[in-house]
């Protein structure tokens, strides 16, 4: 229908010839063509609006919504050590250790060595006798170092300074690192193995003015 109308206008234009009348007819023809093209014919499909890319965060469901929770791009890789016992738990073990010594609970202190005392390198009785000669034994715990990890094992060095006094009145000053160890949270490890325990002690006689790091 629209094509026939446009063709008829073209025939009329050719019959009128040039001049102003021809120009006016040409302008009218252009207007008619434009009107015919812009007016949809009943029953004809309408043009599809092109999709528009929207910036994320505009809150339009299904368009700019954040990635779903199960989208691997939105899930950060977990740190395997993030949920394990860290430096503060190691410091807490040392606090318990020196509190037990200060109160004469040597068996409790002995069991805070690795292997339930085995790492101390002496029997529980010899361990108790080594502290029985003190009338005072007080420790100051410094800032723990970083955790060294490897092959499922964890190690940490913590500086300690001890001020004490022997039964004969001799003052004692010791300082050095104490190394604690634990097994990582791996299959088959027991609760005891996953707990910080004393592995070695580097406490040695030091001048009373030596600082604790």
pLDDT of residue 73: 45
What residues have CB less than 8 Å from 91, skipping those under 6 apart? 141, 144, 158
> Could you tell me which of 103, 90, 104, 199 has the C-alpha nearest to residue 146?
90
Is residue 28 predicted with pLDDT exceeding 60? no
Is residue 129 predicted with pLDDT exceeding 90? yes
pLDDT of residue 60: 41
pLDDT of residue 9: 46
Q: How far apart are CA 97 and CA 178, in angstroms?
A: 12
Predicted model pTM: 0.60
Is residue 57 predicted with pLDDT exceeding 80? no
Mean pLDDT along residues 75-80: 50
**């707990």: which residue's tokens?**
195
Average pLDDT, the chain: 76
Is residue 30 predicted with pLDDT exceeding 80? no
pLDDT digits (tens, 9 = 90+) for 91-123: 999 999 999 999 999 999 999 999 999 999 999
pLDDT of residue 187: 86
Decide: residue 173, CB within 10 A, 0-12 exposed, 13-18 middle, 19+ buried.
Answer: middle
Is residue 205 predicted with pLDDT exceeding 80? yes
What residues have CB less than 8 Å from 132, skipping those under 6 apart? 106
Is residue 10 predicted with pLDDT exceeding 70? no
> Which CATH number describes the domain made up of 87-205?
3.10.450.50
Per DSSP, the residues of 82-127 read TTS--HHHHHHHHHHHHHHHHTT-HHHHHTTBTTTTGGGTS-HHHH
Mean pLDDT along residues 36-64: 48
Q: What percent of the chain shows pLDDT beyond 90?
A: 53
Q: What percent of the chain shows pLDDT beyond 70?
A: 58
Is residue 137 predicted with pLDDT exceeding 90? yes
pLDDT of residue 201: 96
């Amino acid at each position: 229908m629209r094509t026939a109308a446009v063709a008829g206008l073209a025939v009329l234009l050719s019959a009128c010839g040039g001049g102003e009348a021809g120009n006016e007819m040409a302008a009218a023809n252009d207007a008619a063509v434009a009107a015919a093209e812009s007016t949809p014919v009943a029953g004809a499909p309408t043009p599809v609006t092109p999709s528009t890319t929207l910036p994320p965060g505009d809150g339009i469901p299904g368009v700019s919504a954040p990635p779903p929770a199960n989208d691997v791009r939105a899930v950060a890789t977990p740190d395997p050590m993030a949920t394990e016992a860290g430096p503060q738990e190691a410091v807490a073990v040392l606090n318990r250790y020196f509190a037990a010594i200060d109160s004469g609970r040597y068996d409790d202190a002995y069991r805070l060595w690795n292997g339930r005392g085995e790492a101390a390198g002496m029997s529980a009785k010899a361990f108790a006798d080594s502290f029985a000669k003190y009338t005072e034994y007080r420790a100051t715990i410094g800032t723990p170092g970083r955790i060294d990890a490897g092959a499922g094992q964890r190690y940490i060095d913590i500086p300690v300074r001890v001020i004490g006094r022997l039964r004969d009145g001799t003052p004692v000053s010791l300082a050095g690192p104490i190394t604690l160890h634990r097994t990582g949270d791996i299959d088959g490890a027991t609760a005891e193995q996953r707990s910080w325990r004393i592995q070695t002690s580097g406490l040695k006689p030091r001048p009373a003015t030596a600082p604790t790091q």
